[in-house]
Structure 1
Amino acid sequence: MKFSHSIQFNAVPDWSSHYIAYSNLKKLIYQLEKAIHQTAGGDAESRPLIQSEDPESVFIRALDVELEKISSFYVLKETELFDEVNAILRDVGTFEEESGPADGAQPRPPVRTRSAERPRPTPLRSGSTARSRGSTDDGVEDSDDDGDETTGLTKKRRVSFGGRRKTLPNIMQASTDMTASTDLTTSRSLRRYSQTYDDYAEQAALFSSGIMLKKRIINIYVQLCELKSYAQLNRTGFSKVLKKFDKIVDRQLRRKYMDSYVDTSYPFRSETTKDLEEKISKMVHAYTSIVTDGDEEAAKRDLRSHLREHVVWERNTVWRDLIGLERRAEAASLGHTLLGRDTDPHKTLLQGDDERVLPTKEIATPFGRFTCPAWLFSSTMFTLLTILAIFFLVLLVPLMEKPEQQNCLALLVLVSLLWATEAIPLFVTSLTIPFLCVVLNVFREKDKPYARLGSKEATAAVFSAMWTPVIMLLLGGFTLAAALSKCSIDKRIATFVLSKAGTKPSTVLIANMAVAAVASMLISNVAAPVLCFGIIEPMLRNLPAGSDMSKAVIMGIALASNIGGMLSPIASPQNVVAIGIMEPAPTWGQWFFIVIPVGVISLALIWGILLVTFRPGRGTTIVPIRPVRDPFTGVQWFVSIVTIATIGLWCASHQLESVFGDMGVIAIIPIVLFFGVGILTKEDFNNFPWTIIILAAGGLSLGKAVNSSGLLHTVAKAITEYVKDFSLYGILVVFSSLILVIATFISHTVAALIILPIVFDVGKGLEQPHPNLLVMAGVLMCSAAMALPTSGFPNMTAIMKEDPTGQRYLQVKHFISRGVPSSILTLVVVVTVGYGAMWMTGM
C-alpha cells in the first residue's frame, strides 16, 4: 500500500487534520521538479514564480510548518492524556484503600476480565471520547479497544469515591452495567455479603466504581497507544517524503533534516517516547491491580485485545466506505468501455459493500413476468449462440471422410471462433478442449491410424499433451521475471541505461525503446511496458500538455515491447508454443542468431518512423533520469548469477541434452533456488499468470488432437497442393503476411496456437522440407502484429496511459498511422534478413 493511502487508513479519524500533509508535500516536490527543469528554457511568462528560490529552502519551509503543527498537537494531547492518567492513578489508590481487606470488612467484589465476558456487538463510542488508534508497546500495530467497555464514558469524566452512600441513587445503573458487561454470579455472592439494604448498596456502589475504573483505564490505554502511533506514523511520513525529495530533486536533505529538526523535535525525542511508555506501563499496572488480581500478563493480553478490536472496528466502520469507493473505481476503470466497445453486462458485476450482484432484466411471458440475468440478452450471448450453431452445423454436415476428422474440424472451428471473439475468457475456452477431445473421440492410436481411442485412453493422451516441458519452460520464465522484478534488478538496469541517454529527445527515445525491448526479452512483453512507463513518469510530468515527445516515447515503448516479444524463447507465450511445435526445437543460441539482427533493424526503422511523424525534438526539455544509487545487495547478486546461469544453460541445452534432456528440466533450477531460499514466496507463485499457462496448455492439447485425428495432415496436404508451384521463399512470404493480418485482429498467442501447427505440417510436406523455418518466421510475425491498440498487451497498456488531467496521451489514429507501417517494415525485415539468418542456421 502506498504511504499516502496508509496514512489515511491508519490515522485516527478525529486527528486526521493534524497528521503530516504527505500528499500536499508530494505535489510540492513535483512542482519544484518542474520549476528546476523549466528555469533554463522558455519565455519569462511561462517560467515558474518560485524559480528564484532554492527548491531546498522552499521545501524546508513547508516541512517546518508541518513539524510545528504536529508538535503543537502532540504537546496538547499529551498534556490532556497525562492529566487523565494522574487522575486515574489517584482514583485507583482511593479504590484500593476503600475496597482492601480490613478487620470485619467484606472482600472486594470481583471485576471480571475479558476472558470471562460475553462477546457483544460493539456500539459507537460517545462523540466526546476521542476515537484513537495506535500500536501496542510490543510492536503490534493497528489494534483496537472494545467498544462496549467504553460506552457512556467521557474523556473528562471523574468518579467520586468520597463516600459509599453517594452512589446509592445509581444502584439501578450499576446493576445495568453489571448485567450488560459482566457475567457475575450475582444472586448467590451478593446475598452472602448483603445482610442489610445498606450493605447491599455499599457492595453494588463499590462494584460499579470498579467497572467504571476498568473502562477508564482501557480508554486511556488505547489513547496513549494511539498517541505513540501518531508520533511513529508522522516520523515515517517525514522520512519518506524527504527520501522522495532527494530522489526527484537530486538533493541530500533527508539525513540532515531528520537529524537536526525531526529527531530533536519534542514528539520524536527518545525521552518523550520513554515518558509515554511509562504512562502506558502505569495503566497496565492499574489494570492489573483492579481487574486481574496481580496477573500482569493477563492484563497485557486483555488490554491488547481491546486495542486490537477497536482498530478493527474503526477501520470497518469509518474507512470501509472509502476503501470500497476506491475499489469500485478501479473495477469501473477495468470494466469501462475500451476503444468504443461496450462492456457486456455478464462481464461487469455491480459491487455492493458485501456482495456482488449480477444485473438482471425482467421479461414478460404468457406464463407471467420473470427476472433473468441481463447477460442472457447481451450481444455476447448472441455471439456465443451463433458460434454454437456453427459448431453443431460443422459437426453434423459431412465435410471429411473420417468421423474423428469431422469431429476435430468442428472442435477446431468452435475453439478458433471462441478465441477470436473472446465470447468467454480465453483460458476457459482452453479448458473446454480436453473435455471435447474425450467426448468427441478425436484421438487415434499411433500404430493403428484408423482405430479411435476410447474415452479412458483419450483422457490420458490429452492430459499428457497439456503438461509438457514447454509448460515448465514457461514457468521458469515467469520465475526469473518475478525474481528480477521483486529485487528491482530490472529497474536498476533500466534506469542505469536511461541515465546515460542524456537529454536529446531522439537519443532519449531510442534509449527507452532499447530498454523496453531488452526488458521484454527478460521479463516478458507483458511486464516490460508497465515497468518502462513507471520509469519515464518523472519525464512525462515535466513535459508540456500534449507534447509530441510524450506521445513518441509512449508509442515507442509499446512498439519496442512488441519487437522485444520475439527476442527470446520466454519473451512471449507464442514463442513457447513455437518451440513446442518445432522438431528439433531450436537452441537459445540459434534463436538469438536469428532474432537479434531482425530486432535491431526493426527497432531502428520504427525509431525513424516516430522521429519523422512526431518530430519530438521541437521545443522539448527532457528531465534526465537518475540511476538507482543504492549498492547491489547479496540477494540481488544471487538472483543475477542464477538468472545468467539459467540462460546460459538454455543456450547450451542442445549440447547438454544428454544431461538435462530438455530446456523444461533446466527451468526447474531457478524455481527450486528462488522459492527454496525464500526470495520468492507462495504468494508470488500464486500470482503467476496462470491464465496464460492454461491457454498454452489448451493450445498444446488442441495441436495434439488435430495431429492425432489426421485433420492436420489432410488440411496441410490440401494447402501444399495449392502452393506446390510456389518456391520456399514464396510460401514464406504468403504465410508471414497471412499470420501478420490475423494476429493484428486477434491475440498473438491465439494466432500462433491456431496457425503454426498447420504451417509446420505444410513445411514438412514440401519437396524440400523446411517446417522449422516457416514456423520461426510465423512466430516472429505474431509479435510484429502491432497496427491496432488491441494488437497485443503493450499496445493496450499504452493506449490507456493518461496524463495528470485524465486525458489519454494516445488515440487510435496514432496507432494506425504508426503501427501499420511499423508492422509492414518488420515483415520486410523478417522475410529478408530473418530468412537469411534462418537459412544459415540450417532450419
Structure 2
Amino acid sequence: MATCWQALWAYRFYLIVLCLLIFLLPLPLIVQTKEAYCAYTIILMALLWCTEALPLAVTALLPIVLFPLMGIMDASEVCIEYFKDTNILFVGGLMVAIAVEHWNLHKRIALGVLLIIGVRPALLLLGFMLVTAFLSMWISNTATTAMMVPIGHAVLEQLQGSQKDVEEGNDNPTFELQEACSEKEVPKLDNGQAVSVSSEPKTQKTQEQEHHHFRQGLSLCICYSASIGGIATVTGTTPNLVLQGQVNSIFPENGNVVNFASWFGFAFPTMVILLLLSWLWLQVLFLGVNFRKNFGFGEGEEERKQAAYQVIKTQHRLLGPMSFAEKTVTVLFVLLVVLWFTREPGFFPGWGDTAFANEKGQSMVSDGTVAIFISLVMFILPSKIPGLTEDPKKPGKLKAPPAILTWKTVNDKMPWNVLILLGGGFALAKGSEKSGLSEWLGDKLTPLQHIPPSATSIILSLLVAIFTECTSNVATTTLFLPILASMAQAICLHPLYVMLPCALASSLAFMLPVATPPNSIVFSFGGLKVSDMARAGFLLNIIGVLVITLSINSWSVSIFKLDTFPSWAHSNTSQCLLNPSNTTEPGL
C-alpha cells in the first residue's frame, strides 16, 4: 500500500494535468459558447499555475493552442500578445539591470550607503533595508537579496566575534566577504548590538539569544525590503508590468495613463511609508522596544561597532576605484531614469509629447523604446578606455576590449520564462475580451455597486495578498486584473481604483518561504523557522493593505483622476447614466 501511494506521489504532476483536463471538460462540452471556452482555458491555467504541475511559462503557452482551436482568436492575433510593448520594456529594463549587476555597481552602491548609515543595530537594519529597497527598484528582487544576505551575515559574524577579540586584546583581522552557508551554526557570542542596561555582565545564553534574534531580524529586513522596493517603479517587479500591459490591452484608448512617471509618483511614497513601518515593526519584534539600546547608546559598544564598520570599509576598499565600465554604466543608468521621467510626465510637456508626437499629439515613443535604446548603447560602448591589448589566448595578436554588455551575459541572466509568462497573461486578457467573457463577468458583478468602493478595494487587496502567498505574484495579477477591469466597467468605477491595489498587494508575499524567491533565499541561510516568518509577515501584510488603501484614496486620486469614470473605460454607457453617483469620488 505504501508503495502505491509513493508511486502516485511520484507521478502527481502528470496526474494533476490529466485530471484537470478531463474534469473541466464538461464546461465547454455542455455550454458551447465562446465565453465558456475562454472560461475553461482560464480556469485550467489558473489551477495549473497554482499547483505548478507544469512550469509557469509552459502553462502560459496554452492560449496559442486553445484559443484558435476553440474559435476565440486567430493564432496570429494570439501570438502578437506575447511580444507587446510591455514585454519590450521588460527586456530593455532587465538588460540595463544585468549590466549594473555584471559590473558590480550594485555592490558598490550597497557598501557605500552602509558606510554612511553606520552599524548601530537599528540603523544597521535601516541601512540594509534602504539599500535593498533601492536596488530592487532597478534590478531583480532575487538578485538583490542574493547579494545583500551574505554581506549582512558577514557583518553579523564580525559583530559576534569582536567582543572576544577586544577582551583578549587582539586586533580584528581583515575579513574577506564569503558566501554564507546554509549549514552554518547559530552564532554563540554577543553580536555587539545588545547594550546592557545594568553593570552586571550578560550570560552567554542571553548573548546567544540576542544575536540569534538580530540575525533573524536582519534576514527578514533584507527579503521584505526587496519585495517592498520593487513596487516603486513600473519595471521594479513583474506584476507592475503586467498591470501596465493589461491596462493598455483592455483599454487601448487610455492615453498611456500608466507610465514610468505616473507610476513612480503613485508607488514611491507608498513604498517609503511601507518600508519605514516595516522597519519599526521588525525592530520591535526582534530588537525589543528599548530604542535607546537599539540605537546603540551604551558603554562598551564602540569597539564592536568599529569592528563591524571595518568589515564594510574593507569590502568597499577591495572594490578599488570605479572602473571605466562602472562609470559608463552609471551615466547610462542615470540617463535612462531621466529619459523615463521626462518622456511623458503629465504635469509638463515631455520630450515624447513634443519632439516625437504623432498627428494626435500623442508620443510615438514608449518607455520600452528608451530602455532598448540605452541597452543598444551598452552593446556598442567598450568596457575599457578604447585601446588595443594583447590577446592572452593568442600571443602576438591584439584584441579589443569587450562591450559593456555582451549577448552571452544577457542570455545567461535573462529570465526568458517570465517574458513568456507576461505574454500568456496578455493573451488571456485579449481572449476574455474577444470571447465576450469580460462583458459577461461585468454583468454578473453589477451588484457590487452597492458596496462602498473603498471597502471593495480593501477586500480585494486582502484577497490578493492571501492568494499571492500560495502562488506566483505574476500569475496572481494575470488572473485577477482582467476580472477587476470588467467589474470596474460594470459598476462605473475607475478601473485603476481596483487594479492598482491588486498589483501592489501581489507583492505583499511576506508570510511563507515559498511565497517569493527572496523569502526562500533568506530561509535557506538558516536561523529562521516558518513560524518566525509567518509571525512577522502576518502583521506586515495587514500594514501593507492599509498603506495601499491610504495611497489609493489620497495622492493617487490626483495622479490618475480616480474620482471620475474615464471615457476610455466606458463599456456600458446606460449603466453609468443610471448610476451617476458612482462616477465621482470613489474613495471618499
Report the TM-score, using the length of structure 1 for normalisation.
0.51
Separation in 1, partners of 2:10, 2:444: 41
1:706 aligns with 2:432: yes
Matched residue, 1:384: 17
Separation in 2, partners of 1:503, 1:541: 13
Separation in 1, partners of 2:10, 2:112: 53
Superposition pairs for residues 534-573 of structure 1, below 5 Å? 534-542=150-158, 543=160, 544-545=187-188, 547-573=212-238
Q: Partner letter of residue 473 of structure 1? A: L
1:840 aligns with 2:558: yes
Segments of 5+ residues of structure 2 without an aligned counterpart are: 161-186, 189-210, 248-253, 345-349, 358-362, 382-402, 563-588
Separation in 2, partners of 1:467, 1:757: 18
Asked if structure 2 preserves the Cα contact closer than 8 Å seen for 1:391 and 1:411, the reply is no
Matched residue, 2:473: 748
Superposition pairs for residues 337-416 of structure 1, below 5 Å? 378-398=11-31, 403-416=33-46
Q: Partner letter of residue 487 of structure 2? A: V
Question: Which of 246, 265, 276 does residue 593 from structure 1 map onto?
Answer: 265
Matched residue, 1:468: 84
Separation in 1, partners of 2:239, 2:48: 18
Matched residue, 2:99: 483
Q: For residue 384 of structure 1, report the CA deviation from its aligned partner.
A: 2.3
Separation in 2, partners of 1:645, 1:375: 55
Matched residue, 1:694: 420
1:436 aligns with 2:124: no
Separation in 2, partners of 1:783, 1:377: 32
Q: For residue 538 of structure 1, report the CA deviation from its aligned partner.
A: 1.7
Matched residue, 1:611: 283
Matched residue, 1:813: 531
Matched residue, 1:528: 144
Superposition pairs for residues 188-227 of structure 1, below 5 Å? none
Separation in 2, partners of 1:772, 1:723: 16
Matched residue, 1:668: 372
- Kindly name which structure, 1 or 2, has the bigger radius of gyration based on alpha carbons: 1
Separation in 1, partners of 2:3, 2:483: 47
Q: For residue 628 of structure 1, report the CA deviation from its aligned partner.
A: 2.3
Q: Partner letter of residue 36 of structure 2? A: Q
Matched residue, 1:718: 444
**1:608-642 CA deviation, whole Å, 9 max, x = no partner?**
21111111768985512226242222222211111
Separation in 2, partners of 1:661, 1:391: 43
Question: Which of 757, 768, 771 does residue 495 from structure 2 map onto?
Answer: 771
Question: Which of 509, 512, 518 does residue 788 from structure 1 map onto?
Answer: 512
SS at match of 1:686: helix
**1:242-274 CA deviation, whole Å, 9 max, x = no partner?**
xxxxxxxxxxxxxxxxxxxxxxxxxxxxxxxxx
Identity of aligned residues (%): 24
Q: For residue 374 of structure 1, report the CA deviation from its aligned partner.
A: 6.3
**1:489-546 CA deviation, whole Å, 9 max, x = no partner?**
1111110001122221010001101111111101121211112113223213333346
SS at match of 1:667: helix
Q: Partner letter of residue 835 of structure 1? A: N
Q: Partner letter of residue 508 of structure 1? A: L
Asked if structure 2 preserves the Cα contact closer than 8 Å seen for 1:759 and 1:775, the reply is yes
Q: For residue 441 of structure 1, report the CA deviation from its aligned partner.
A: 1.6
Q: Partner letter of residue 229 of structure 2? A: G
Q: For residue 772 of structure 1, report the CA deviation from its aligned partner.
A: 1.9
CA RMSD of aligned residues (A): 2.2
Q: Partner letter of residue 60 of structure 2? A: S
Asked if structure 2 preserves the Cα contact closer than 8 Å seen for 1:479 and 1:670, the reply is no
Q: Partner letter of residue 506 of structure 1? A: A
Q: For residue 835 of structure 1, report the CA deviation from its aligned partner.
A: 2.5
1:729 aligns with 2:454: yes
Q: Partner letter of residue 636 of structure 1? A: E
**1:344-391 CA deviation, whole Å, 9 max, x = no partner?**
xxxxxxxxxxxxxxxxx999xxxxxxxxx9689522233223322233
Separation in 2, partners of 1:718, 1:819: 34
1:628 aligns with 2:316: yes
Separation in 1, partners of 2:481, 2:509: 15
Report the TM-score, using the length of structure 2 for normalisation.
0.73
Instruction: Give the 3 Å change call, closer, same or farther, for CA 379–730 of structure 1 in structure 2.
Output: same
Q: For residue 730 of structure 1, report the CA deviation from its aligned partner.
A: 2.3
Separation in 2, partners of 1:362, 1:728: 54
Matched residue, 1:738: 463
Segments of 5+ residues of structure 1 without an aligned counterpart are: 1-360, 364-372, 444-457, 802-807
Asked if structure 2 preserves the Cα contact closer than 8 Å seen for 1:587 and 1:653, the reply is no
How many residue pairs get aligned? The number is: 449
Asked if structure 1 preserves the Cα contact closer than 8 Å seen for 2:438 and 2:483, the reply is yes
